Amino acid sequence: MSPASDDPAFPRPQLALIDAFTAHLRLERHLSANTVAAYRTDLIHLATFLHRSSSSLEDADHATLRRFLAQQHALGYARASIARRVGATHTFYRWAVDEGRISHDPSLLLGRPKVANRLPTVLRAGEAADLVERPDAGAAEDPIDTAVALRDRAILELLYGSGLRVSEVTSLRREDLDLDGARVLVRGKGSKERRVPVSDDAVAAVRAWLADGRCHLATGSEGPLFVNRRRKPMSARDVRAMVAGYAGSLLPGRRIGPHTLRHSYATHLLEGGADIRAVQELLGHSSVATTQRYTHVSRARLFAAHEQAHPRA
């Protein structure tokens, strides 16, 4: 199904309504750009379906919304994607009713498909250390290659040593770092700020990048902390590709990304005896329930160790 913007007959007022909603998410609820973009995409899919069913966002009823979800299932979308679209639909209609744009909420009785609560992938401590130390600046002969290795080591140290999200790493600026105090100011989801500790290894890696690497990829000290070979700010895609590249040669056959290092950071803290509330603060979770899934990972690993090691397991 093509998006609404590709349909010349798609009514512009529908896009205007969706844009007003996403402006609310961005300006009043301070949701991340990625989240806002996902909500917009979900609503465009819904509005396109409604338009082709001779309906609209304002006129939709519960039965039409259910047909939309059935179509999404028939098209092969994953349960998680459909559940997200249900969430976007609920949020949109609550906003539209509150704003007086729609008289009633047709999504009130719309249920979400159950999504399997998969435990996050976690590296063992030795695997995480090997991955973080994979970039080898000493082996590079070209200054640019050396700079890239120094940059990659600094990013990996922050992902695992401080548990940062990929978006938090890419948004860092030089002034956010207090290397003498081993702290970094992080802007997380919903524009919430938090200060988190930086490990000694991460401090050393960032100092090396600033002293010997960044000058080869960036002009001046202003701007983002990390830049790519094109002298542009590192994007989330850049970081994911970088992590996957090192992980592919070190741990072939496993799907490992930046969030794997964040998962590993949290799990290793809890396995080391850290208080769950402290880990919640470090990760920037609004609810401790989100952090508790890492206790499930630790418990699963304990049972796995028991089964592998005990003679009567």
Residues 6 or more apart in contact with residue 138 via CB below 8 angstroms:
none
Does residue 259 carry a catalytic annotation? yes
Residue 158, helix vs strand vs coil: helix
Residue 253, helix vs strand vs coil: coil
Give the C-alpha separation, 80 to 129, whole Å.
32
Q: Looking at 165, 216, 263, 268, which residue is catalytic?
A: 165
DSSP classification of residue 227: B
Residue 233, helix vs strand vs coil: strand
Residues 6 or more apart in contact with residue 156 via CB below 8 angstroms:
131, 132, 134, 135, 205, 243, 246, 261
Q: Looking at 24, 195, 259, 293, which residue is catalytic?
A: 259
Q: Looking at 94, 112, 285, 293, which residue is catalytic?
A: 285
Does residue 285 carry a catalytic annotation? yes
The answer to whether 115 touches 170, Cβ cutoff 8 Å, is: no
H helices of the chain, where?
12-27, 33-52, 62-74, 79-98, 125-132, 143-161, 166-170, 200-208, 236-250, 258-271, 276-283, 288-309
74-91 burial: b if 16+ Cβ within 10 Å, else e: eeebeeebbbbbbbbbeb
Q: Looking at 84, 187, 262, 268, which residue is catalytic?
A: 262
Does residue 189 carry a catalytic annotation? yes
What are 186's strand-pairing partners? 194
The answer to whether 77 touches 70, Cβ cutoff 8 Å, is: no
Q: Looking at 79, 174, 183, 189, which residue is catalytic?
A: 189
Q: C-alpha angle with apex 235: 234 to 237, nearest 5 degrees?
A: 125
Does residue 262 carry a catalytic annotation? yes
Name the residues annotated as catalytic.
Answer: 165, 189, 259, 262, 285, 294
